[in-house]
A and B are shown apart, each in its own frame.
Chain A
Amino acid sequence: MQRKTLRRWNNAIHRDLGYFFFGMTLIYALSGIIMNHFKSGDFVHPDYSKKYEQLTVELPAGGLADKTYALKALQKVHEEKHFKSYVSGTGYIQIFFDNGSLYIDLNTGKAELEEKTPRYVLKEFNLLHYNNIKHWFTWFSDAYAVALILLAISGLFVLRGKNGIKWRGALLAAVGIIIPVIIILLYA
């Protein structure tokens, strides 16, 4: 009787926490995929997808890389209407436009065009994942982390019988623990 009540409480906690933190789970899972691939070097930036193109542009007449030259160089990539600013350094100029930049080697005329597209929505999810918001979100995400622990533990006891923790559940949970342990032992 008492075991029955405990299981009922366990399942109710598992169900309600699952419902309540459904949104947070999606946010962390989706931005987690982004972070994973960003850290592995598959993405150059977590918030923007970037495209690079190598090209050759005309060098400035008289060697003067000024705003007129910057606008002319942007014409080649059809971005002159989106000009933002330019910065020059030793032997190069970098011209910024709304969604990217053009980096020109002033010795060779070789240029690299960078175009970026925001990952809408995922960008905001990343903001939450990094906890850039701080303040009260720290507490809310801590509550989510505690809820995940409770979800994991209560999840073990949702089902009874051979599909529960006594056989199938125990086996899968053990494999799920062994895999990260092996990875840590091999690489950490």
Chain B
Amino acid sequence: MIKKLFLLAIPCVFLLASCNQASKQAEKTKADTATLAVLTFFDSASNYTEKPIRIEGTVVHTCKHGGKRMFLVDGTDSIRVEITAGNNITKFDENLIGSRVKVLGVLKEERVDAKYLNEWEAEVKKPVEDHSTGIHTGAKGHEDKGTQEKLDEINSLRDDLKKSGTDHLSFFSVEAISYSVVK
């Protein structure tokens, strides 16, 4: 009997230890998390790549192909921050549009280089396009662009890449861990 209890106790000890470790990790993440503003997001984004951040804004668009991304603005939509759904988020429902949300997530950088643009161009030219490829802007109607419009966008990015004098362009987004609607 004692032997059985002892065997049972071993996984419990490990479980408690891992829970403790997880809560310590969560506390550490909370303490380390910077709060970024939508309007100044792109000025400071490069300093927080792969780091946890908090951001608050109004949802102007959610992706209709599965709700895997949404875009936040603050007052004006000249600056839109892309939020992608992390593993624990099933989707960003269309009903979120117009709501103010607080997001906790990890800042991600996507590097677009010549190879990326070539692959994107090949995808656009396919009869059945994969909507997860390419840059998503969240602008009105961006998901309904025709092939020619997308090719123009790719060529415009090629020009930007040439002008930048570097081998890539950086696009920043936030992979959401959790979010809540501000009432």
Q: Is the CB of A88 within 8 A of B76?
A: yes
State whether A133 and B127 are in contact (beta carbons under 8 Å apart), knowing that A46-B64, A87-B60, A88-B75 are contacts in the complex: no
Chain B hits for A97, CB < 8 A: 98
| Residue in B90, B94, B98, B140 whose Cβ sees the most chain A Cβ within 10 Å | B98
Q: Is the CB of B77 within 8 A of A84?
A: no
**Chain A: minimal CB distance from B9 (Å):** 28
B97 interface residue per 8 A CB criterion: yes
Residue-wise interface mask of A (29-71) relative to B, using a CB-CB cutoff of 8 A (1 in contact, 0 not): 0000000001000001111100000000000000000000000
Residue-wise interface mask of A (79-123) relative to B, using a CB-CB cutoff of 8 A (1 in contact, 0 not): 000001101111000101100010100000000000010100000
Chain A hits for B164, CB < 8 A: none
Q: Is the CB of A133 within 8 A of B94?
A: no
B residues with a Cβ closer than 8 A to A are 58, 60, 64, 66-68, 73, 75-78, 85, 87, 90-91, 93-95, 97-100, 127, 140
Q: Is the CB of B97 within 8 A of A96?
A: yes
Q: How far is the CA of A188 from the CA of B60 in the complex (A)?
A: 35
Q: Which B residue's beta carbon lies closest to that of A48? A: B94
A134 interface residue per 8 A CB criterion: yes
Q: Which B residue's beta carbon lies closest to that of A41? A: B144
Q: Is the CB of A87 within 8 A of B97?
A: no
Chain B hits for A5, CB < 8 A: none
**Chain B: minimal CB distance from A170 (Å):** 31
Q: Is the CB of A132 within 8 A of B67?
A: yes
Closest 9 CB pairs of A and B: A96-B98, A84-B98, A132-B90, A130-B66, A89-B77, A132-B91, A45-B64, A87-B77, A85-B98
Please tell me the number of chain A residues within 8 Å of chain B, measured between CB atoms.
Answer: 26
A residues with a Cβ closer than 8 A to B are 38, 44-48, 84-85, 87-90, 94, 96-97, 101, 103, 116, 118, 127, 130, 132-134, 187-188
**Chain B: minimal CB distance from A118 (Å):** 8
Chain B hits for A85, CB < 8 A: 58, 98-100
Q: How far is the CA of A85 from the CA of B60 in the complex (A)?
A: 10
Q: Is the CB of A89 within 8 A of B98?
A: no
Given contacts A87-B73, A118-B95, 4 further A-B contacts (CB under 8 A): A88-B75, A127-B91, A130-B66, A134-B90
Q: How far is the CA of A70 from the CA of B76 in the complex (A)?
A: 14
**Chain A: minimal CB distance from B39 (Å):** 13
Q: Is the CB of B77 within 8 A of A88?
A: yes
Q: Which B residue's beta carbon lies closest to that of A99? A: B95
Chain B hits for A87, CB < 8 A: 58, 60, 73, 75-77
**Chain B: minimal CB distance from A155 (Å):** 28
Q: Which A residue's beta carbon lies closest to that of B67? A: A132
26 A/B residue pairs, CB under 8 Å, sorted by A: A44-B64, A45-B64, A45-B94, A47-B67, A84-B98, A84-B99, A85-B58, A85-B99, A87-B58, A87-B73, A88-B76, A90-B78, A94-B60, A97-B98, A101-B97, A103-B140, A127-B90, A127-B91, A130-B66, A130-B91, A132-B66, A132-B90, A132-B91, A133-B90, A134-B87, A187-B127
Q: How far is the CA of A94 from the CA of B59 in the complex (A)?
A: 12
Q: Is the CB of A116 within 8 A of B76?
A: no
Q: Which of A47, A84, A94, A187 contacts B93 (CB 8 A)?
A: A47
